[in-house]
Amino acid sequence: MLDDLSSRLSDRITDPGLLPGRGDFAGDGRLAVRDPATGDLVAQVAISDAPGARAAVDAAQAAFPAWSTMLPQHRAQILHHWHALIVAAKEDLARIMVAEQGKPIGEARGEIDYAASFVQFYAEEALRPNIEGVTSHLPDAEMELWREPVGVAALITPWNFPCAMITRKAAAALGAGCTVVIHPSAETPLSALALAVLARRAGFPDGVINTVIGDAATIVGEWTADTRVRALSFTGSTEVGRLLYRQSADTVKRLVMELGGHAPFIVFEDADLDRAVAEAIKAKFATSGQDCLGANRLYIHRPIYDEFCRRFTEATERLTLGRGMEDPDLGPLIHDRQIDKQKAHVEDAVARGARLLTGGSVDEAQGPLFFKPTVLADVTDDAAIMSQETFGPVAAISVFDDEDEVFARANATEYGLVAYVHSLDPRRIYRATRALQYGMVAVNRTKVTGAPIPFGGMKQSGIGREGARQGLEAFTEIKYVCRDWA
């Protein structure tokens, strides 16, 4: 870390080399990184400005010819090496994440496994054939489709999954043969910089991966305007996604947008209630509720409504809240805007007739960014929480009477990322799966993500998919080749 500036992190990790120096594109500015659990200064990071953002693209552009024409098995070897180094540094990376993001250490370790899995997946995917034959429709002609890397890709990531959102994009882009410029969230630059250190050790040539910290609008604005940046992959809020979509129009970039979510969690009367309650707790409170896959609306069938509310509230009251290194169920929220939003959503729902069953306020004994796990019942459809992403530990429960009603209410949103359904009736499950306008439908379980599946949303939850073979599409172009042998 910068010599003249404080770092409270170096004594918590075994490899101080993961705390980077000035970086290649840093100017004189400083970004303070604070522990959300305590407000303590963790470190200060040197930041870049517009010339730094352009220099990063210069470097990526210069590195592209050699990287994109390197034999795929050599690119795969470097990705495998990066994967091995991430796995070996798991504990350090998890501790860095706890220090700047606040999440419980168990969740942080899980995220490192998840992050590493994308690197391994795309190391293997890099070796799959990238040429496809086409049955000719012209006499004496031979046709092929070549899949080629687009060039420099800009990757913009949020703070809630500071490592996995980087590797989910970067491993696909790098495996495809692109070079990348990365802008992580200002809340979590240390995780991004640590991944960059490991990438350098893994043997990525200079200029292939360029991590730039700084004012988001300035840095990303440079990249959206730059014709050399051929693809932009963004994960974050729908609001910023719309802005970057507009900004990318003038240079006609290829886009991946992984945006907000507002997941419905539907429990039918025939569901396994114990399981539905346990899965609802995970779907609502994982990542302290700060998860795009978080269950924002719980729709419960009338015959089991009271029993579900009782059991869900009891389970919520058993959840622990604390500092990340104590490995509680929930940690602090990332900043005070998140706290303000929880309060506003609770007050608004209660004013419209909802009942507050537990929680509803800050846990002052823990600190100003700790919001108690909260349950609201009888929440009406006009409450803000039923249409706006809460991104925190507030569960909103509402009753329903029949299938058509609940499917219509579940779909009445601009979002379409993930929907959860609990039922043991196969025909009902089929009808629900057909009816729900969501990019992912999870039946009788919560955890559905992983490197081999195409993650992404419908409607304003995004464009394109990440993970799986589909995750390569935004980073590659199809070149159609037609050869005449007559």
Annotated catalytic residues are 258, 292
The residue written with tokens 């992580």 in the block is 184
**Which among 8-16, 20-28, 157-165, 374-382 is the span making contact with ligand NAD, rule CB under 6 A?**
157-165
Measure the CA–CA gap between 461 and 226, rounded to whole angstroms.
25
Nearer of residues 209 and 399 to ligand NAD, judged by Cβ: 209
Nearer of residues 190 and 259 to ligand NAD, judged by Cβ: 259
Measure the CA–CA gap between 119 and 102, rounded to whole angstroms.
24
Contact string (CB under 6 A) for ligand NAD, positions 428-467, x = contact: ----------------------------------x-----
Who's near 435: CB < 8 A, 6+ residues apart? 403, 407, 411
Chain position whose Cβ is nearest to ligand NAD: 236
Strands 141-149 and 152-156: unpaired
Nearer of residues 85 and 394 to ligand NAD, judged by Cβ: 394
180 binds ligand NAD (CB under 6 A): no
**What is the largest distance, in Å, between two alpha-carbon atoms of the chain?**
82
Residue 266 Rama label (left phi>0; alpha psi -120 to 50; beta): beta
* The residue type at 302: R
188 binds ligand NAD (CB under 6 A): no
Nearer of residues 462 and 471 to ligand NAD, judged by Cβ: 462
Residues numbered 197 to 236 that lie near ligand NAD (CB under 6 A) are 216-217, 220, 235-236
In the complex, the smallest distance separating the C-beta of residue 158 from ligand NAD, rounded to whole angstroms, is 3
339 binds ligand NAD (CB under 6 A): no
- How many residues bind ligand NAD (CB under 6 A)? The answer is 28
* The residue type at 332: P
In the complex, the smallest distance separating the C-beta of residue 220 from ligand NAD, rounded to whole angstroms, is 3
**Which among 96-104, 127-135, 255-263, 325-333 is the span making contact with ligand NAD, rule CB under 6 A?**
255-263
The residue written with tokens 């009445």 in the block is 412
In the complex, the smallest distance separating the C-beta of residue 461 from ligand NAD, rounded to whole angstroms, is 6
* Contact indicator for 457, 237 with CB cutoff of 8 Å: no
CA angle 87, 88, 90 (to 5 degrees): 60
160 binds ligand NAD (CB under 6 A): yes
Who's near 373: CB < 8 A, 6+ residues apart? 285, 316, 317, 319, 321, 329, 330, 358, 359, 393, 395
* Contact indicator for 72, 166 with CB cutoff of 8 Å: no
Q: In whole angstroms, how far apart are CA 184 and each of 109, 163, 232?
A: 19, 9, 13
Distance from the Cα of residue 155 to its chain's centroid: 12
245 binds ligand NAD (CB under 6 A): no
The residue written with tokens 């302290």 in the block is 288
Nearer of residues 223 and 268 to ligand NAD, judged by Cβ: 223
The one among 82, 118, 159, 204 contacting ligand NAD by CB under 6 A = 159
156 binds ligand NAD (CB under 6 A): yes
Contact string (CB under 6 A) for ligand NAD, positions 379-398, x = contact: ----------x-x-------
The one among 259, 298, 300, 394 contacting ligand NAD by CB under 6 A = 259
417 binds ligand NAD (CB under 6 A): yes
Length of the chain, please? 486
**Which among 127-135, 184-192, 264-272, 311-319 is the span making contact with ligand NAD, rule CB under 6 A?**
184-192
* The residue type at 59: A
471 binds ligand NAD (CB under 6 A): no
Report the chain's C-alpha Rg in angstroms.
23
Which residues are near ligand NAD by CB under 6 A? Answer: 156-161, 183-186, 216-217, 220, 235-237, 240, 243-244, 258-261, 292, 389, 391, 417, 462
